[in-house]
Amino acid sequence: MRPVDEYHRLQHPYDYQPLGALECVKLWAASPRNRIDMAELTATLKAEALSMGFESVGVCRALPTDHMDFYQGWLGRGFHASMDYLVRHVELKSDPQALLPGAKSIIAVALNYHQENPAVDGHPHIASYALGWDYHKVLRGKLKRLAAVIERDYPGSESRACVDSAPIFEREYAHLAGLGWFGKNTCLIDSKRGSWFFIGLLLTTVEFESDAPALGGCGTCRACIDACPTGAIVFDDGRWQVDSRSCISYLTIEHKAEIAPELAAKIGSWTFGCDVCQEVCPFNQPRESQPLRAQPTIEAGFLAKRSWPRLEQIGVLDEDEWDRLTQGSAMRRTGINGIRRNARINIDNQRPNPASKSLNAEGVLSSKPSVEPGTGSTLG
């Protein structure tokens, strides 16, 4: 018999009936064993999450945070660039209750995606997170399994999985749940594991025991700041921030227009996203005392790398080939025109003579093909 059932039986010796899950939760709130039972409940939940392949899991309360003031300042400086949807979602981000009314806890999980990802001449250089299957699908599938466990154990409870696309401060709640702290590159860093992990959140109407926020810091380290090819990590309003307008990840994924030549030249070989600020981070360098840092992922979906054609072919991809290559991939986000543009920039950046770079009349890298369609050979 569960402790809470035993407590209930002693309180109701003549009309005892086994308790349902929700009645258990209510009774725990009044029970002298509340803290012990809540800790056991949460430990069971975390064990379930870890058994699904997550590297770490934590819990925080589903309440508004003080992150909104900073976020609005970041938007006010224009650091969001052309991502206007971030402005439209401000009100929704202000309170988790907007996503799941009655939510009491937020379960934050981390899933490692790290794998070796060297640049190869003539081939697209893709950020590590996008090498395999779309992380939205992989994480959401696991979170739905975790939600099913909670809803099985607590009939009548509700849950909502959030993976990157939902209007919620994912990194902030993951920080509050103890998964990591904010680095100068604004990535969430786990002192033991580094930053090569995805964040997923599961909002639930069941209350679990909250963890303490993660503690840590970069100290005087400037590795990511000095290594950023475009200088996108800037100090403003008392903290380090990323100005998306010059961030390679933004430029190669979210930016839909042509890219100014002074920025395009600094993109180098990156075709989709950028890993530089994580590659140079000391917390991503394994050492004897920290063996968990930069461990390779064992998630099959992330290891299922796509076979991409050479840059010359990508620069003139047709719609059918694009659709085939990007099915189930996060790379679909950039769109066919974006990936063509990026491939041509990569090709131009490989040319030894800057005068040979393809500029349009406005002095911007041209979106016209720099390879002859159908030949796969560079012009000029």
126 closest CA partner among 300, 360, 332: 332
Pairing of strands 56-61, 105-112: antiparallel
Report how far residue 379's alpha carbon sits from residue 372's, in angstroms, rounded to the nearest whole number.
Answer: 6
Q: Nearest to residue 56, comparing CAs of 161, 211, 205, 164?
A: 211
**226 included as an active-site residue:** no
Three-state SS string across the chain, please?
CCHHHHHHHHHCCCCCCCCCHHHHHHHHHHCCCHHHHHHHHHHHHHHHHHHCCCCEEEEEECCCCCHHHHHHHHHHCCCCCCCCHHHHCHHHHCCHHHCCCCCCEEEEEEEECCCCCCCCCCCCEECHHHCCCCHHHHHHHHHHHHHHHHHHHCCCCCEEEECCCCCCCHHHHHHHCCCCEECCCCCEEECCCECCEEEEEEEECCCCCCCCCCCCCCCCCCHHHHHCCCCCEEEECCEEEECHHHCHHHHHHCCCCCCCHHHHHHHCCEEECCCHHHHCCHHHCCECCECCCCCCCCCHHHHCCCCCCCHHHHCCCCHHHHHHHHCCCHHHHHHHHHHHHHHHHHHHHHCCCHHHCCECCCCCECCCCCECCCCCCECC
Looking at 5, 153, 164, 211, which residue is catalytic?
164
Question: What residues are annotated to the active site?
Answer: 164
